[in-house]
Amino acid sequence: MKSLTRGHLKAGVSSVRSAKLRSFWTMLGIIIGVTSVIMVVAIGEGIKQQISGQIHHMGKDLITVRPAQLHGSTGLSSNGANLLSGLNISGSLSEKDVTTVSRSKGVTASAPLTITTGSIKSEGVTYDKGFVIGTSEDLPSLLNQSVEFGAFITYNDVGSNVAVVGQKVARDLFNEDVPLGRSFTFQGQKFIVRGIFNKFNTTPLSEQADFNNAIFIPNDVAESISKNTAPTYEILVKANDGQTAQVASSIESALKKSHGGQTNFSVVEGNKGVGSSDDILNLLTRLIAGVAAISLLVGGIGIMNVMLVSVAERMHEIGIRKAVGATNRQILSQFMIEATVLSLAGGVIGIALSFFLNLMLRLTTDLKPVISWPVVIIATGVSLLVGIIFGSVPALKAARKDPIEALRSE
């Protein structure tokens, strides 16, 4: 029996190899389906880990305060804040809110992020790829981000036109890696560079902006040059160890009292932000993976159609095999193995293509897809199942053929 099975397997592989081009087009649906499912899940898992990594990098005790009037947006809002947050902000936090948050019980550090628009120039070079953010001296500790050269803004820099820049700003605006002491003009005022951040691997709480393109100035200066019209789109807060929930509640109560009972703001703990992001990403990943899986169905139909053509073309061969004693079960096994070989080969090629695309995305983009072995195993099993299910119809048709009618066919 084993030798017979080996013979059927050898015949199936030989049949697939004898018509390579047709076999490839037959497998294409399976290849696309398996690759799509694995890559969609891998990208979703990678984004989840990146967002989670941002939160854990900054610490679970980080609290984010934002205006409540937020909604998703793909373009620039009038105040430009969605460039940083990925959200269109129709409201903003005030300087009073910044003070209220910093004085709330249990707050060990806080820093506003105030977006300020305007032209950035230095020695005839205009820099339009970045943005200017007003903030405070606590920002590096809140982001767990260090300054590579020079120093960050301090308490003594209140009212001073000093700036700390990201690495891309240093190279693109000043054409050097360490432009300490260099100056630039913003909103008609001259600023001196006193520090350069280490490279930001990811933008805190946002996938749309790149803080390597950012220029950080004292928040009171940002408010002053914009005549108090610059929107504070976010306040980052660090709580006492183990008291994140209590501090968040304290901030919410203080802001609600300051706003006359209105809750036109949101206070989000770091770990809760990860949970909500994970839920949304899981839902989207499942939805897109389900759509991608339809191509596996299309691939299965393709296998069935090609196998039906193969049965018609090899009718004479079927008749001869039956005439010399082949049973219906043996004919069924031969064609089932051929369909399974096609489907399994397509699955293996799809898996190999997934790993190749994963490598290319990691090398050429900021995405870090994570291929899950359970998903790979499931995709392989599904591709095998598709071959068995859709190969059964042509195989049954071949097995039930009358040998005399089969021999008469040309």
pLDDT at 72: 44
> Which residue would you say has higher pLDDT here, 258 or 8?
258
Reported confidence tier of residue 59, pLDDT bands at 50, 70, 90: low
Per-residue CA distances from 123 to 69, 101, 120, 214, 355 (Å): 40, 39, 10, 19, 47
pLDDT at 74 over 50: no
pLDDT at 329: 77
The 8-class DSSP code of residue 93 comes to: B
E strands, 139-212, are: 147-150, 162-165, 183-186, 189-197
User: What tens digit of pLDDT does each residue of 185-213 get?
Assistant: 998 899 999 999 998 875 544 544 678 88
Q: d(Cα 79, Cα 132) in Å, to the nearest integer? A: 12
Q: Within 62-217, where are the H helices? A: 82-85, 95-102, 139-143, 167-174
Choice among 90-94, 159-163, 208-212, 406-410 with the minimum mean pLDDT: 406-410
Reported confidence tier of residue 166, pLDDT bands at 50, 70, 90: very high
pLDDT at 85 over 50: no
> Which residue would you say has higher pLDDT here, 101 or 52?
101
Calculate the dihedral angle through the C-alpha atoms of 35, 37, 40, 44, rounding to the nearest 10 degrees.
Answer: -130
